[in-house]
Amino acid sequence: MKTFKLPKDLKLGSATSALQIEGNIHHSNWLRWSEFHYIFDGSSCATGANHYGHLEEDVELLKQLGHQCYRMSVEWSRIEPEEGLFDAEALRHYRRELALLTEAGIEPMVTLHHFSDPIWFEDKGGWQVSSNKCFFMRYAEKVIRVLGDLVPYWITFNEPNVYFHGSALEGTFPPGEKGIDNYFRGSLVMIECHVAAYRLIHDYYRERLKQSVKVGVAHHMAYFTVVDQPHWWETIVMRVMNRYFHEFFLEGMTVGHILKPFYSRHVKEGLYADFIGINYYARHQVKATPHMETLYATVEPMKGGNYNDLGWEIYPKGLYHFGKLLYKRYGLPILITENGTPDAKDEFRGDYIMDHLYQVYRLIKTGVPVTHYYYWSLMDNFEWADGLTPRFGLVAIDYETEERTVRPSAMLYKEIIENREIRR
């Protein structure tokens, strides 16, 4: 049995995104995608958990569960439902949410872009059109000016690699226009927007608010591996996947370095992150066939492992691996901006949290400055192309009645937050 104690200055909490829990969605490209029946379980993001209508109740839940920090997002399609038209009521709602969190003693982190785009933005070509950067920057400036005094931490973009993998390679995210050229063209536009938003936020806080701020990106880090004796092609494929699924975004959004062969546009090299946000979930085995006529690669769960409800392999050591790797490379504080598991029966979520917090403990003991851990998710949510079926929440949601039920794993997590001691 392992017994370990987490430091008191490690902030523990949870994360959500607006589109996945708010409901009352009307102008997002994900609503249109749902209406086209492209969600695997046939559900929609239109209502969901209705966090928008249960705001006070949900913040009270966060307080009762002892969460010290909370990562949320603001919904672009709600704030700017039509091009150039900003909804004052939506902005007041988000100020109210941030004020409630602050009053409850919960430190907020706000994400500007979490997969969802306004329909009008997508119809103008979205991230595939370089000149569309001005629309995101106008939205970002508006949000920062209205909410900035209440926000100590910003995430500009959530998982840009997953966003473009889903929308441009797999076709499971809107607009579903597949093509490797779309993957890289859109990625470059988003990288440039991050760099510009990083500067915008720091300039505004320094010149207008006279207060400090931390800005970064939530990077999805997938632990790719191969069998003990891989085929040479599998090794090559894994390296390519790591380079263009991970490194391309890490380098571009952290130090402004665009990896070869994409030098058509340059981002000025510098430092564009105050921390490295890690979203970590699972390990994946790369399998490939090296025949030129059937050039093909797949990512599958490792055989013989432990799996969650979506069939992802649970591999806590991957979190330690990425924390060490990215701190060594960039020397920036590490924030675990997402880490969680779908577990409808709540059978292994508690173990999952403890096992991953042990890896956080290991990182801190070896000198890696991990400052925050956000469990994904506070409540059950609309899990993108998988719909409402996966149950990630510490709090269960009855989508018929909107009733909230605290799961046993949430109470275990509360004890960890309060006592800091874990016995495994």
Within-domain flag for 138:
yes
What is the DSSP code (8-state) at residue 297?
A: E
First to last CA, the chain: 5
Give the integer Cα–Cα distance in Å for 68 and 415. 13
The letter for the amino acid at 176 is G
Q: Specify the pLDDT at position 226.
A: 87
Within-domain flag for 263:
no
The H-or-E segment that residue 365 falls in is helix 349-365
Q: Specify the pLDDT at position 231.
A: 78
Res. 343: pLDDT tops 80: yes
Within-domain flag for 339:
yes
Give the integer Cα–Cα distance in Å for 242 and 199. 28
Q: Specify the pLDDT at position 278.
A: 99
Q: Provide the mean pLDDT of the chain.
A: 94
Res. 1: pLDDT tops 70: no
Q: Specify the pLDDT at position 389.
A: 97
Q: Specify the pLDDT at position 330.
A: 98
Within-domain flag for 396:
yes
Q: Specify the pLDDT at position 424.
A: 77
Q: What is the pLDDT of residues 117-161, one digit of tens each?
A: 999 999 999 999 999 999 999 999 999 999 999 999 999 999 999
Within-domain flag for 233:
no
CA angle 144, 150, 155 (to 5 degrees): 55
The letter for the amino acid at 424 is R
Tell me if 352 sits within 8 A of 281, measured CB to CB: no
Of 53-67, 276-290, 357-371, the one with minimum mean pLDDT is: 276-290
- Residue 139 lies in domain: 3-220+272-282+294-423
The H-or-E segment that residue 146 falls in is helix 133-147
- Proportion of the chain above pLDDT 90, given as a percent: 87
The H-or-E segment that residue 147 falls in is helix 133-147
* Cβ neighbourhood burial of 367 (10 Å; 0-12, 13-18, 19+): exposed
Q: Specify the pLDDT at position 288.
A: 74
Of 56-70, 76-90, 292-306, the one with minimum mean pLDDT is: 292-306
Q: Specify the pLDDT at position 296.
A: 56
Res. 304: pLDDT tops 80: no
Q: Specify the pLDDT at position 190.
A: 98
CATH number at residue 176: 3.20.20.80
Secondary structure (3-state) at 119: helix
Q: Specify the pLDDT at position 302.
A: 66
Cα 5 to the chain's mean position, in Å? Answer: 27
Res. 263: pLDDT tops 60: no
Total Cβ atoms within 10 A of residue 255: 16
pLDDT band (50, 70, 90) for residue 335? very high
Q: Specify the pLDDT at position 262.
A: 64
Q: Specify the pLDDT at position 261.
A: 73
Within-domain flag for 144:
yes
Q: Name, in order, each residue with C-beta under 8 angstroms of 379's C-beta and a sequence gap of 6 or more.
A: 16, 21, 49, 51, 58, 393, 394, 395, 396, 397, 404
Within-domain flag for 245:
no
Res. 51: pLDDT tops 60: yes
Res. 289: pLDDT tops 70: no
Work out the average pLDDT over 213-228.
94
Res. 290: pLDDT tops 70: no
Q: Specify the pLDDT at position 232.
A: 82
Within-domain flag for 323:
yes
Greatest mean pLDDT among 40-49, 253-262, 265-274: 40-49
415 phi, psi to nearest 5 deg: -60, -40
Give the integer Cα–Cα distance in Å for 377 and 390. 11
Phi/psi zone of residue 284: left (φ > 0), alpha (ψ -120 to 50 degrees), beta? beta
The b-or-e profile of 51-80 (16+ CB within 10 A means b, else e) is bbebbeebbebbeebbbbbbbbbbbbbbbb
DSSP string, 46-80: SSTT-TTTSHHHHHHHHHHTT-SEEEEE--HHHH-
Tell me if 161 sits within 8 A of 249, measured CB to CB: yes
- Proportion of the chain above pLDDT 70, given as a percent: 95
Cα 39 to the chain's mean position, in Å? Answer: 20
pTM over 0.85: yes
Give the integer Cα–Cα distance in Å for 335 and 339. 11
Number of domains in the chain: 1
Q: Specify the pLDDT at position 234.
A: 85
E strand spans, 275-322:
276-289, 296-300
pLDDT band (50, 70, 90) for residue 37? confident
Q: What is the pLDDT of residues 164-209, one digit of tens each?
A: 999 999 999 999 999 999 999 999 999 999 999 999 999 999 999 9
